[in-house]
Structure 1
Amino acid sequence: MELRRRAVPVSARGSLGAWIRDRNAGLMVLALVIGVGAGLGAVAFRWLITTATHVLSGHEDYAAAPGSGHPWLPGWGSWFLLLAPVVAGLVYGPLVYRFAREARGHGVPEVMYSVAERGGHIKPQVSLVKALASALCIGGGGSVGREGPIVQIGAALGSTLGRVAKLPERRLRVLVACGAAGGIAATFNAPLAGPFFAMELILQSFTIESFGAVVLASVAASVTGRAIMGNEAFLSLPVFQVRNPVEFALFAVLGLVIGAVGVLFAKVLYRVEDVCDRIWRGPEWLRPAAGGVLLGGLLMLLPQLYGVGYPVLGDAIDGDYAIGFLLVLLAGKMVATSLTIGIGGSGGVFAPSLFIGAMGGTAFGLVVHALLPGVTASPGVYGLIGMGAAFAGSARAPITGVITLFEITGEYSIILPMMSTVVVATLVSRALSRDTIYTAKLRRRGIDLDARHRRGRLPDRTVGSVMEQVPDSLPATTAPRDASELLARSGHGVLPVVDGAGTYLGCVTARAVAEVLGDPDAVETVGDLAEVPAAITSTTNLVDALDPLADAEGTGLPVFGEDGRELVGWVTHQALLDAMRAPAAR
């Protein structure tokens, strides 16, 4: 009897585990839990930032009072800015180096990589280390955002819970995206922006199952955040409106300009990081503190760049700065953010891209408003739209850019100009740069996510590793009726054709032969039916062989040597299917 009582709970646990792993309802329950956890994580993370900022600068947000002194250090004035990044770096530098080195940087590329290449596996300690390191970095003056860190924190939570529930990799990736969506939703108080950020940047695909899960996680995170932090718009801005349809042409020009600025930001970011890598020769754990001296010097010149900088962004859109100072802040933010990341800091680039777009957009608005005062809206409209354009130019995520700006501003009137400007900025970005600000970091490490998404489950191998022997060739003088029998026996539906000297002429398909069999006036030999398909060599990647195989008739194609002239093998659809199955089997 005792054994029977013990067996029931074990069976129940097994059934529950199977239900969570295999049923859509189980996935939704996990998404809900992750959403609540991400919401709480966002609240805790913002508290950590506020606390660190208060300790290291004496203010809840130093950007709201740039240039003021630290109340705990009377007589220092703003000179404490030289010390704050150094002290912060002395704490978070060893923390990141010792416990989770992937917590360094802006976070989103690491999540993208874990989803695309590691099946959604993220070490659980990343959440805590990333939260502490980013809070200290931002609190100490690091000119980065809090969105990238909360994405990584939420994603690590989703990955950990998914592995505890023993979910397959397909669903584990979805839970990682749920954590990222929840983090964005709670941070911005933007339940719509979270799912689109996760689908457009993290998963880079849209399915009903994954979309439903990330939406649920986003709603849960947003509700949790609102219950604790309130239900106010992320930015409190005056009402803006478009005054004249002619302005849409100006918005297109704004998209051209700010889209290019977004690309420039990404290039400056990695160029500064390269310079820091070349210069620094000391231990990595000391790098943030040593580089903090340079960052502190920059903050002495432009204290408006301290931390995330949303108060400065709001002041710019409200029209508190002149054109020249707006451009100085734009360039300064690029350098400050790049330096913060380059010295080993931890923080996001989403907020800096919004800052840069606001400065550039408002400056553009001041110019056109001075030239066409009766036609154009207030310069702040251009600043708002410039925020979305800069993000689209740097991250190439137009849907996320539009929805995020709508939600954080609450301004529906900017939707139409925002959509047109963001599309133009995205096109400009694509024309000027192969990579986004996120994928560039991965490509620098030899990881091409675009190729890997196209490849799917195909391993990173060449055709030479899966090709078969060349099937018996048909002499060019073979009659169509004889060729039809040979094609039927081969099982390939297509065979190579050679001349009398054995030189390859092309391929003939069963369909081409069948079309001429009943026509007495048709060709007399298969040499006249031979067609040359797309060339595949033994060094062609499997992913690059997919399209030629899909377009070809029959079950395979000839493979040439590296010189592209000698026939060395034959590749089939089945060979690629077997290659896709092999990694899963291992």
Structure 2
Amino acid sequence: MALAVIVGAGAGAGSLVFRWCIQTFTRLLTGHGDYAAAPGTANPHLPWLGPYFVLLTPVIGGLLYGPLVNRFAKEARGHGVPEVMLAVAQRGGRISPKVAVVKTLASALTIGSGGSVGREGPIVQIGSALGSTLGRLLKVTEGRMRLLVACGAAGGIAATFNAPLAGVFFAMELILRTFTAEAFGATVLASVTASVIGRAAFGDSAFLSLPDFHVDHLAQYGLFALLGIAAAIVGVGFARFLYLVEDACDWLWRGPEWLRPAAGGLLLGLVLLALPQMYGVGYPVLQKATEGGYAIGFLLLLMLGKMLATSLTIGIGGSGGVFAPSLFIGAMLGSAYGITVHHLLPGTAGAVGAYALVGMGAVFAGSARAPITAVVILFELTGEYSIILPLMLAIVLATAVSHLLSHGTVYTLKLHRRGIDLEGPARGARLGGQRVGAVMDPLPAPLPASTPLAEAADLLSRSGHGALPVFDGAGNYVGVVTAQAVAEVLAEQPEGAPAEVGQLTEPPAPVTADEPLAHALHTLLSAEGTGLPVLDPARAVPVGWLSHQSALRAVHTAA
């Protein structure tokens, strides 16, 4: 707990330094605190260039951060969160300490010079690197190291966005990818500590200033549901387009990697000249869209422009997050949708800003598939509770539709493209790549579903497996009965216990013979008893038995 507080304080301090660097570089290169608030204006330092100075700022930024990233920390390139997820899942939470310094400078230069990316990816990587460094200095266990990395991520999100709850759920849902009381307690401490530091520096105001919203007609829930489906399509499309542009940049560029951001900066500069609202994170533009300040056509142009500008920034080697761009894209989609339905159903649709807010959360959920984080962070960033029910509805639908449309998310697709599966073994690992069929034991003698309970208890006690497969009278596999289930029934309700074992049978999570052992181990560890039936992938009938002993034999053989 003490370490969680220290990591939270470090992440909070890191967020202060990071935001100061962004503001400093932005003022140096544009003459404005946030150029997106005054798009198309001249740089007061170079008034004779007019708005054309934006052609040069991405090139200058690229010449500075390109060599820095290439020389000191290549993992600082891109949006950061996938690298943290990989470190937690397969590298014991180990992140190089130099990542914090390089990521701070590279991301601040990227955003300050016009890169159309967000702050959350960098601050997650910065906070996580601080947590990992502290863990290595104190030589904590691997489990503690992962938890400290998650604390750093939670603290970074909390301090940067003034969203302590969102920091906790971001860390648990995306970084740790598990929920435990210990993890919740530690990340809450880190998040609260970082948030206190952030609020002391930046104040306690909400991310967006929005009027009160109310759902006055039940029909509005149907409109929000349709928006959730549309947002899922846009969110998945954004993730795919991001990596399509990155592939195109990889294919086109043949020069040294350190020069790539500067050369690509010429293309980004052209986009900024045509659409200066894309400069940097773009929060002022997002705010104006939620207030209904743009027409439908321009909103759609801004949405597509953000997809292009963000993808190009990442593709040329820039450093920054994709969370803020997904919010921006969602706000443009939601505003355009809200204006449309307001024209079609003026007495039913309600406020346009409500659709912008819901669109923000739904597009993030569609691209990242983190529904809890999406709901909590949109509530905290805006302080709007009145829209929580439509927000939850749209986010859940967006997440479900995204599952149907794509296997990966905007974060995991980056790893999948490198041949990395977070659920599988780490590259080079000797254990985990084997197929279950190669390490499984023979199937134990199954029990007929009609076996009397007392007889089944005797057979289970002598089997040594703690669980046995059960077949019905027609020879069909129906599930597994565990010794624990039989013992509990006989001890707690001997008079009302089922007569036959089939009534206590439950189908466990399926494990197939062609499944990698690394995947099956997750299922085995959460199963009751000491083993699971292994199913034929074609006919879904048991062909073997995976036990803890067979998994350990695989470890011994691999070693």
2:213 to 237, 240, 243: 240
Q: Which runs of 5+ in 1 are unaligned?
A: 1-27, 474-485, 496-505, 512-533
Q: Distance in 2 between matches of 1:343 and 1:183?
A: 25
1:543 aligns with 2:502: no
Which residue matches 2:230?
257
Which string of whole-angstrom CA distances, capped at 9 and with x for unpartnered residues, describes residues 35-89 of structure 1?
1111111111000000010111111100000000111112100110100000000
Residue 192 of structure 2 corresponds to residue 206 of structure 1: no
Question: For 1:305, which of 278, 291, 294 is the aligned residue?
Answer: 278
Does 1:576 pair with 2:551?
yes
Q: Whole-Å Cα distance in 1 between the matches of residues 526 and 180 of structure 2?
A: 24
How far did 1:150 drift?
A: 0.2
Match of 1:406 in 2: 379
Are 2:423 and 2:519, in contact at CA under 8 Å, matched by a contact in 1? no
Cα separation, 1, equivalents of 2:362 and 2:514: 44
Who is 2:189 aligned against?
Answer: 216
Aligned to 2:151: 178
User: Who is 2:495 aligned against?
Assistant: none
Who is 1:123 aligned against?
Answer: 96
- Give the match for residue 39 of structure 1: 12
Measure how far apart 1:548 and its partner are: 9.2
| Deviation for aligned residue 1:417 | 0.8
> Equivalent residues in 2 for 1:249-398 (5 A)?
249-398=222-371
Question: Contact 2:425/2:432 (CA < 8 Å) preserved in 1?
Answer: no
Q: Distance in 2 between matches of 1:457 and 1:374?
A: 64
TM-score (norm 1): 0.80
Query: Aligned in 2, Cα 1:233/1:130: closer, same or farther, shift over 3 Å?
Result: same
Any idea what SS the aligned residue of 1:256 has?
Answer: helix
Q: Which residue of 1 aligns with 2:498?
A: none
1:76 equivalenced with 2:49 (yes/no): yes
Q: Structure 1 CA distance, aligned partners of 2:300 and 2:86?
A: 34
Counterpart of 1:528 in structure 2 is none
**Per the alignment, do residues 471 and 376 of structure 1 end up closer, same or farther by CA in structure 2, a change over 3 Å counting?**
closer
Partner amino acid for 1:575?
S
Residue 396 of structure 2 is matched in structure 1 by 423
Aligned equivalents of 1:510, 1:383: Cα separation in 2? 51
Residue 246 of structure 1, CA deviation: 1.4
Query: Structure 2 CA distance, aligned partners of 1:232 and 1:359?
Result: 23
For residue 574 of structure 1, what is the amino acid of its counterpart?
Answer: Q
Q: Which piece of structure 1 moves more, 237-246 or 51-60?
A: 237-246
Cα distance, 1:283–1:384 mapped onto 2, change above 3 Å: same
CA separation of 1:581 and 1:314: change in aligned 2, threshold 3 A: farther
Separation in structure 1 between the aligned mates of residue 481 and residue 194 of structure 2, nearest angstrom: 59
Identity %: 62
1:317-373 deviation per Cα after TM superposition (whole angstroms, max 9, x unaligned): 111100000000000000000000000000000000000000000000000001111
Name the count of aligned residue pairs.
Answer: 508
Q: Which residue in 1 is equivalent to 2:405? A: 432
Question: Aligned partner of 1:543: which letter?
Answer: H
Q: Report SS of the residue matched to 1:158.
A: helix
Distance 2:42 2:215 in 1: 41
* Equivalence map 1:34-73=2 (5 Å): 34-73=7-46
* TM-score of the pair, normalised by structure 2: 0.83
CA 1:371–1:547: 2 relative to 1, 3 Å: same
What CA distance in whole angstroms lies between the structure 2 residues aligned with 1:322 and 1:471?
66
Q: Distance in 2 between matches of 1:282 and 1:171?
A: 42
Q: What are the superposed Cα offsets for residues 249-290 of structure 1, whole Å, 9 maximum, x if unpaired? A: 100000011111011000000000000000000000000000
2:258 is matched by which residue type in structure 1? W
> How has the CA–CA distance of structure 1 residues 574 and 229 changed in structure 2, closer, same or farther, with 3 Å as cutoff?
same
Partners of 2:190 and 2:345 in 1: how far apart? 46
Separation in 1 of the partners of 2:153 and 2:316? 25
Gaps of 5+ in 2: 446-458, 469-476, 483-509
Given the superposition, is the C-alpha separation of residues 542 and 464 from structure 1 closer, same or farther in structure 2, using an over 3 Å criterion? Answer: farther
Moved over 3 A (4+): 450-453, 463-468, 470-473, 486-495, 534-560, 568-573, 577-583
How far off is 1:303 after superposition? 0.1
Match of 1:141 in 2: 114
Measured after TM superposition, the shift of residue 535 of structure 1 is: 9.6
